[in-house]
């Protein structure tokens, strides 16, 4: 039957409750994610049957299976899922605070800042430090660009329009700077940087997982906690201020959360593109615009997208290992063009 609001109400035991679409969608996506995880762990140059995968993860399987799974495939799969979830959540946050459906870490320069810092580190930093410091360098680059973006966009406050326009300019400038640095880099360093810029989780280890896990575990719940401020901000700055929301402070906090999520993902997986654009749009189709529902679904979709892209890169062109970012870009670029066309046709 239908309630006063017209929404479907289910009766059970004399009490009514609304069917929770978020729970249904989340459970379905978790089932898909589990299936992708099982395929990612079992498929490859050494195929491992699902029961053997479970036994190996439990520590009672064959030694060869345990070595392949625990040392190689499990960390790689975990990094793919964590980075995908973080990039998707970062994109959802940016689209929420900027109120622009085309916003993503790629668009406003966060990815570009991390890329420039990574290339600089590969060219100058390796002489004095270990490659293990590459994630830290990339995160510093992303954070520096975010602070510069906020400073340049400030004019008696930061409006979403100025934020995105300044971000597009910074992103273009950083792209040109990255290209120039690659031209002047030695051949071997340039090749390493190209792979990183495209985005790949190849060679991930337990240390890589521990690099991104704390950021994802901390910032995703924090972003969810701030969801009510994003929802109020969708009504416009004047309305949000009128109901008592500290618009500028909340926008800055959410921008820093987005930088932390995107920067940590880019730091370990490289410049995997378009996940922050695609996943929030897919989530919006499934659960609507409410940020509290949108965020977890976008994170799950991002994890699925990157894990699938990495699995395709391992299997489709074996024995070559194609970076996951190539597959996300192959999907994301046409999707971006479609969004531009659809927004144009609505005018």
How confident is the prediction along the chain (347 residues), in pLDDT tens digits per residue?
444 444 444 444 433 333 488 899 999 999 999 999 999 999 988 889 989 998 888 888 788 888 899 899 999 999 999 999 999 999 999 888 888 777 788 888 888 888 888 888 877 766 566 667 777 788 888 889 888 888 888 777 666 777 778 888 888 899 888 888 877 776 666 677 777 778 889 888 888 898 899 999 999 999 999 888 887 877 676 766 666 677 778 888 888 899 889 988 988 888 888 899 899 999 998 998 888 899 999 999 999 999 999 999 999 888 888 889 899 988 887 877 777 677 654 44
For residue 17, the cross-strand partners are 10
Distance between CA 47 and CA 44 in Å, rounded? 5
Mention every residue, 6+ apart, whose C-beta is less than 8 A from residue 24: none
- Give the HSE-up count for residue 247: Cα atoms under 13 Å, Cβ half-sphere: 18
Q: State how far the Cα of 78 lies from the Cα of 300, in Å rounded to an integer.
A: 13
CATH superfamily of 83-345: ABC transporter involved in vitamin B12 uptake, BtuC (1.10.3470.10)
Question: What is the rounded distance in angstroms from the CA atom of residue 281 to the CA atom of residue 164?
Answer: 18
Asked if 209 contacts 267 with a C-beta cutoff of 8 angstroms, the reply is: no
Cis omega (within 30 of 0) on the bond before 319?
yes
């Amino acid at each position: 039957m239908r309630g006063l609001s017209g929404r479907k109400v289910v009766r059970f035991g004399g009490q009514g409750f609304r069917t929770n679409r978020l729970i249904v969608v989340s459970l379905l996506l978790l089932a898909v994610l589990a299936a992708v995880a099982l395929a990612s762990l079992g498929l490859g140059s050494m195929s491992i049957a699902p029961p053997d995968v479970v036994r190996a993860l439990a520590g009672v399987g064959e030694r060869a299976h345990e070595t392949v799974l625990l040392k190689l495939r499990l960390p790689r799969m975990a990094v793919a899922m964590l980075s995908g979830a973080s990039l998707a959540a970062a994109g959802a946050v940016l689209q929420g605070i900027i109120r622009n459906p085309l916003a993503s870490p790629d668009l406003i320069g966060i990815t570009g800042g991390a890329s420039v810092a990574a290339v600089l580190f590969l060219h100058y930093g390796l002489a004095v430090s270990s490659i293990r410091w590459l994630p830290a360098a990339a995160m510093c680059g992303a954070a520096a660009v975010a602070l510069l973006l906020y400073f340049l966009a400030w004019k008696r406050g930061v409006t979403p329009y100025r934020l995105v326009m300044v971000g597009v300019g910074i992103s273009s400038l950083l792209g040109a700077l990255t290209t120039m640095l690659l031209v002047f880099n030695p051949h071997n360093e340039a090749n390493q940087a190209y792979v990183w810029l495209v985005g790949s989780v190849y060679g991930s280890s337990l240390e890589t997982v521990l690099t991104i896990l704390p950021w994802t575990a901390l910032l995703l719940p924090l972003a969810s906690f701030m969801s009510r401020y994003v929802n109020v901000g969708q009504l416009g700055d004047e309305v949000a201020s009128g109901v008592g929301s500290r618009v500028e402070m909340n926008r800055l906090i959410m921008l820093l959360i987005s930088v932390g999520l995107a920067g940590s993902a880019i730091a370990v997986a490289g410049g995997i593109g378009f996940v922050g654009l695609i996943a929030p749009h897919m989530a919006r189709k499934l659960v609507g615009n409410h940020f509290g529902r949108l965020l977890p679904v976008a994170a799950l979709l991002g994890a699925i997208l990157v894990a699938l892209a990495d699995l395709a890169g391992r299997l489709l062109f074996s024995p070559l290992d194609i970076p996951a970012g190539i597959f996300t870009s192959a999907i994301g670029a046409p999707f971006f063009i479609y969004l531009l066309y659809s927004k144009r046709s609505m005018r």
